Structure 1
Amino acid sequence: MDSGKTDDFYDVYEVFSKRSHKGDFQHQFSLLAPNADMAFIMAQENFMRREPVVDIWVVKRSDIRRMKPEERDIVQRLDNKDYRLTKGYGYLRKKWRQYEQKMLDEKEIMSWAEDRPHKEKRQP
């Protein structure tokens, strides 16, 4: 794994930004800086004045942990989640269509009024 250290003075930092309050953070770029405060200032100067953002994260690359190969094998075993898919409910569309065809529509209901003989008003 890359430690993110380039020499004894600079560290590699990753910059993430969020464009709206409801949006997700997205990785934007990497930068070299001597410390976290300087990395944050550089990220603000290089990115925030060009793009409209509501928040940024600046993270030292060496602080980001990635999965080891043996951990990936465990995740692949846990990836069998067919029970979460809705492919078992495919018959419902056909069943719903049959139900809708049996339902009475507005034209049919209005035709009933035409079939009924009109009562004539009685004269007193």
Structure 2
Amino acid sequence: MGKEKTDGFYQIYEVFSKRNHKADFQHQFSLLAPNKEMAFVMAQENFMRREPVVDIWVVKRDDIRMMQPEERQIVNRLDNKDYRLTKGYGYLRKKWRQYEQQMLDEKEIMSWGEDGKPSKKKTK
């Protein structure tokens, strides 16, 4: 990610934790450590003893890859996903109401004669 200056002995590590088995990992904090084993111990001491967690990840910041500016431009072009949203189908409710209004009800169908046309009898 960022190239912060360290004295060469310490490296920056990012700490992620998971509060329960169904939860997602969340970034908690960054720390300086001489190696990954020490970073893990420091993360446990600084975080796990205070917060209930089921898992913890400690990752060297240099191993985290971020998108380059030219890659972000590609994502912006691919960001038009309106066809995936259901808001585009809102007109169907109005169409369905119109269709239902045109449907025949049971009383009207029962009033038809055998030839399939409405009978000319008047009901009282």
When normalised by structure 2's length, the TM-score is 0.72
* Distance in 2 (alpha carbons) for counterparts of 1:65 and 1:9: 22
Q: Report how far residue 45 of structure 1 moved.
A: 0.5
Distance 1:37 1:25, change over 3 A: same
* Distance in 2 (alpha carbons) for counterparts of 1:36 and 1:5: 18
SS in 2 for 1:62: helix
Name stretches of at least 5 consecutive residues in structure 1 with no aligned partner. Answer: 100-124
RMSD value over aligned CA atoms? Answer: 2.2
* Distance in 1 (alpha carbons) for counterparts of 2:95 and 2:72: 42
Q: Which residue pairs with 2:79 in the alignment?
A: 79
Indicate the percent of aligned positions where both proteins have the same amino acid: 84
Q: How many residues align?
A: 101
SS in 1 for 2:37: helix
Q: Which residue pairs with 2:14 in the alignment?
A: 14
Misfit runs of 4+, over 4 Å: 92-99
SS in 2 for 1:22: coil
Q: Which residue pairs with 1:50 in the alignment?
A: 50
Name stretches of at least 5 consecutive residues in structure 2 with no aligned partner. Answer: 100-124
When normalised by structure 1's length, the TM-score is 0.72
Select between 79-88 and 28-37 the one with higher mean Cα deviation.
Answer: 79-88
